[in-house]
Structure 1
Amino acid sequence: MNVIWRTLIVMLRARLRRRREGPLPMTAVGRVRLTTLPTDIDVLRHMNNGRYLSLFDLGRWDLMIRTDLMATMDERGWYPVVSSETVTFRKSLNLWQRFEVQTRWIGHDDRALYLEHRAVVRGEIYASAVIRARMLRRTGGTVPLEEVLAAVDLPDELPEVPAWLHEWAEHAALPSTRRPAPSDWR
């Protein structure tokens, strides 16, 4: 439950910063300072691996609000969904440890946007995640990427998404919701 409160606080702070400092460019790195709380740790006394992805969501909320992407989505009746994500751990975050979630857009392919999140302590990466996200319409259906790119100031000169990310997205994908996806463990 504490992540919902953190989400609301991050969203409020992002709106205040947006109002005070103006919008961030879409190529900026968003930064959210956090502390590892007792509800974040597991029995091994470090941050639970599943919690990283929940806290990285906070970085996405901050970036979407501060770059005005959230306002664009609200105007058009869009919402983002994560279609794939992968996380790599390097060092453990311990109880009460302060860290920063850094978030940036790293590119796009013909269907989705890619973001990178990092958990950083004093300039050192502790964990990193790559997120592949798509936009959906509240009225149903997906938003074509060309429409998303035309609506936001996301430059075409974003770095090329590395080949391994395209391969990862292809291999990690589940069948479309219009096709069967039986659970067969053979």
Structure 2
Amino acid sequence: MNVIWRTLLVHLRARVRVRRGGSLPANGLSRIRLTTMPTDIDILMHMNNGRYMSLFDLGRWDVLVHTGLWDAMRAHGWYAVVASETITFRKSLRLWQRFDVESRFLGHDDRSLYLEHRAVVDGEIYARAIVRARVLRRSGGLLPHDELFAATGRPEGVPDVEPWVREWAAASRLPSTKKPAPSTWD
């Protein structure tokens, strides 16, 4: 099953759960159940490392819909983009293996929102990703968090981003799109 169909299915299921009173606070944990499909595996018969990030996108969709952020973004003409991400693998997911994608907001700084995603089997972490995302305006430009929080409310109960996450974000940052970023190798 291609990721676009999974995305639509996750989005629809999340909307149904919200309609039934299943909204999620900003500090809540989202959990969706998935199965490793033939289109997810590589020649070694385990999930391809690149597929994890595509499936973690599904977790972000679930969080956005369940927290109400998706409706606010759509109403105001905003959208989110991933600015950077890192993933650590612990165990391989095999063909037809069932697993949960657990997702939650880690916090925010002056420019970005931070999320954590985990691939979990029977309560055990198989992979973990940290994602730094930004919210942009369809009309152009970065959306200031004051404007985001005015529309959605400032998230309460979201823990501070751990120092190592801030250090990672600073170390992985590329120049702004308004500045040059030449590809030169040492």
TM range (shorter): over 0.9
Displacement of 1:32 in angstroms is: 0.7
CA distance in structure 2 between the partners assigned to 1:53 and 1:154 by the alignment = 27
Q: What is the aligned-residue RMSD (CA, Å)?
A: 1.2
* Alignment deviations for residues 48-97 of structure 1 (CA, whole Å, 9 cap, x no partner): 00000000000000110111110000111100011010000010000000
Does 2:8 match 1:2?
no
- TM-score, scaled relative to structure 1: 0.96
Give percent identity, aligned residues only: 63
- Counting matched residue pairs gives 186
- Which stretch of the first structure deviates more once superposed, 145-154 or 98-107? 145-154
Residue matched to 1:47: 47
Residue matched to 2:134: 134
CA distance in structure 2 between the partners assigned to 1:27 and 1:165 by the alignment = 17
Does 2:90 match 1:90?
yes
Unaligned runs of 5+ in 1: none
CA distance in structure 2 between the partners assigned to 1:178 and 1:114 by the alignment = 23
Displacement of 1:152 in angstroms is: 2.0
* Alignment deviations for residues 27-59 of structure 1 (CA, whole Å, 9 cap, x no partner): 110111000001100111100000000000000
Q: For the Cα contact (< 8 Å) 1:105–1:115, is it kept in 2?
A: yes
Going from structure 1 to structure 2, the CA distance change for 1:112 and 1:138 (only over 3 Å counts) comes to same
Residue matched to 1:21: 21
Q: For the Cα contact (< 8 Å) 1:26–1:153, is it kept in 2?
A: no
* Alignment deviations for residues 98-141 of structure 1 (CA, whole Å, 9 cap, x no partner): 00000000111111110000000011110000000110000001
Displacement of 1:149 in angstroms is: 2.4
- TM-score, scaled relative to structure 2: 0.96
